[in-house]
A and B are shown apart, each in its own frame.
Chain A
Amino acid sequence: MKYQSAFDIIGPVMVGPSSSHTAGAVRIGNIVRQVLGEAPRRVKFELAGSFAETYRGHGTDLALLAGVLGLPTDSEDIPNAEQVAASHGLQYAFAKVNLGQVHPNTVLVTATGDTRTVQVLASSIGGGKVEVQELDGLPLKFSGERPTLILYHEDRKGFLATVSRILDASGYNIARLALERRSRGGEAVTVCEVDEAVQEDLVQALRGSIPVLRDIRLVYVA
């Protein structure tokens, strides 16, 4: 089920005017910032469907920008996101594109920080809820509503078994799990949503125990 909590319906507390086009867009921006894991320097937002047609009216551009700047959905700085971006020296661009058969409120965000670039295709599916559809071109779906581990690793036998053993030993329950790889034995990404707040010692345990694990990012947009 996409919607499970009473606060999915009676919420979020947000700055208007649109839950899908403003609050959802802030959340997408928040996710992109967390996936990038560092301050963004350049961001490109490519909007499709209803996002593309109405983004100025709904403040979707300000909301996406506020999101990558790390502002929450109820921040009264959202209307001033352009000034906030300028003060942080963030370069940004908006474009309208056709992304083919995607949800009507979909944006492709390409964010570049000092050391890396990430690309997130995400949809705002209604009432402020969002879902990432693709991460760096891989079909990995997650919402960021639960603590989410993004594991960048090499495709090796036993990887998931090791990860799940460490999670289990540390008291974490896996709520949702997906693995995609670019090629056999090549680059792979695992997205793992858990029920418990992720503590730093879990990140250390994963890093310390799995040589093929190259990087970890944490996403959680409560």
Chain B
Amino acid sequence: MAFTHLHELIRMANERGVTIGQLMLEVEAEQTGRTKEEILARMARQFDVMEEAVRKGTREPVMTRSGITGGDGHRMHAYLQRGQSFVHPDTLRATAYALAVSEVNAGMGRIVATPTAGSAGILPGVLVAALDSGRYRREELVMALLTAAAIGLVIANSASISGAAGGCQAEVGSATAMAAGALVELAGGTPEQVGHAVGLALKNSLGLVCDPVGGLVEVPCIVRNGLHAITAMTAADMALAGVRSVIPPDEVIAVLHEIGKDMPVSLRETGIGGLAGTPTGKALREKVFGDRAARRNAGPTLAEAACREPAVAGGTGESHRGDAS
């Protein structure tokens, strides 16, 4: 079977009397010829890497390579332990964890792309916070990863999970939807409620542009991971409470794709428009990469379609597509 529509997944899960996570496990076993135990063991290792990144980024301040960002996961973790926050500390923990993982990622540390590296904080943020709540067993969290995988497959196949193709909504939006649906199933919700959680979470992410300052996966990516962890949890709670997504989740996914295609290239992971194009955004780019890199980055614009004059970094000369030198 192909993962292209949530309503099909929901129907099949109901027909087989299983959760969406269990359906994913069955299909993965059918497709790969591996046993369910092998798949669960591999997924458990993914969860371990996710947890390691959470612990690394909260235990100590992780600074990114550029020096623009860093230490916020550790900072939030220390703050929530004072018990003075507006958001309950157990909830705010998910934000701290998501920030931590995103900082580890920006520092070229080891993470699991869920579904992408730029959005890798959200799923570990909410799931490791759920683990630390003491209410769920590790095996249940591994199953929740399979729920998240099924949702991500639908979005990836019928829309996009690439910021360059669909903007930040395709990355952080997808991760938020995956996390929301995973939490619903973790809490014992129905496949329909998973669908509504996805719809609700995605609707709150539509239109998010991908505008990383200096092209770095730092500003605004890290903060968005932290804040969208809370969005995911709230969407899950709304769906569990019986709130429905009036626009069916599959239509929300379809419109995510439409909006992504309508976004100008400057707002799709080119580091040109949006926050990247602000005076401070441009100054930071200059500061990180300096003059030499700025010149190197000043290659042909998209308008210069016929131009093939490359700016070469330390190597051979000119190039034209097709010549195998």
Contacts and interface: CB of A to CB of B under 8 A. Distances in A.
B215 interface: yes
B114 to A, nearest CB: 6
A43 B323 CA distance: 13
B108 A126 contact: no
Interface stretch (B191-199, B226-234, B235-243, B297-305): B297-305
Interface residues of B, number: 88
A11 B116 CA distance: 8
Kindly name the residue among B25, B112, B288 whose own CB sees the greatest number of chain A CB atoms within 10 A.
B112
A4 B33 CA distance: 13
A108 interface: yes
Contact of B319 (A12, A56, A97, A117): A97
A118 B160 CA distance: 30
Nearest to B306: A98
B73 interface: no
Nearest to A128: B113
Contacts, number: 251
Nearest to B221: A17
A34 interface: no
A180 interface: no
Contacts of B160: 126
A11 B31 contact: no
A15 B110 contact: yes
Contact of A100 (B45, B157, B305, B314): B305
A18 B118 contact: yes
A120 B89 CA distance: 51
Contacts of A56: 215, 289, 293, 296-297
B43 A126 contact: no
Contact of B3 (A1, A10, A46): A1
B305 A98 contact: yes
Given A17-B105, A127-B115, A98 B304 contact: yes
Given A126-B165, A127-B115, A6 B316 contact: no
A16 interface: yes
Interface stretch (B79-87, B145-153, B248-256): B145-153
A76 to B, nearest CB: 7
A9 B162 contact: no
Contacts of B32: 5
22 contacts: A5-B28, A6-B28, A8-B153, A10-B146, A11-B46, A16-B105, A16-B107, A16-B110, A18-B117, A42-B316, A44-B319, A46-B321, A53-B269, A54-B215, A57-B288, A93-B313, A96-B310, A97-B319, A98-B307, A100-B305, A104-B265, A127-B116
Interface of A: 1-23, 42, 44, 46, 49-50, 52-59, 61, 74, 76, 78-79, 91-100, 103-105, 108, 110, 112, 117-119, 125-128, 136-137, 195
Interface of B: 2-4, 24-25, 28, 31-33, 39, 42-43, 45-46, 49, 65, 104-118, 120, 123, 145-146, 148-150, 152-153, 156-157, 160-165, 170, 178, 212, 214-218, 265, 268-272, 288-289, 293, 296-297, 299-300, 302, 304-308, 310-316, 319, 321-325
* 10 closest A-B pairs by CB: A93-B315, A95-B310, A54-B215, A96-B299, A126-B162, A57-B215, A16-B105, A9-B152, A6-B149, A17-B217
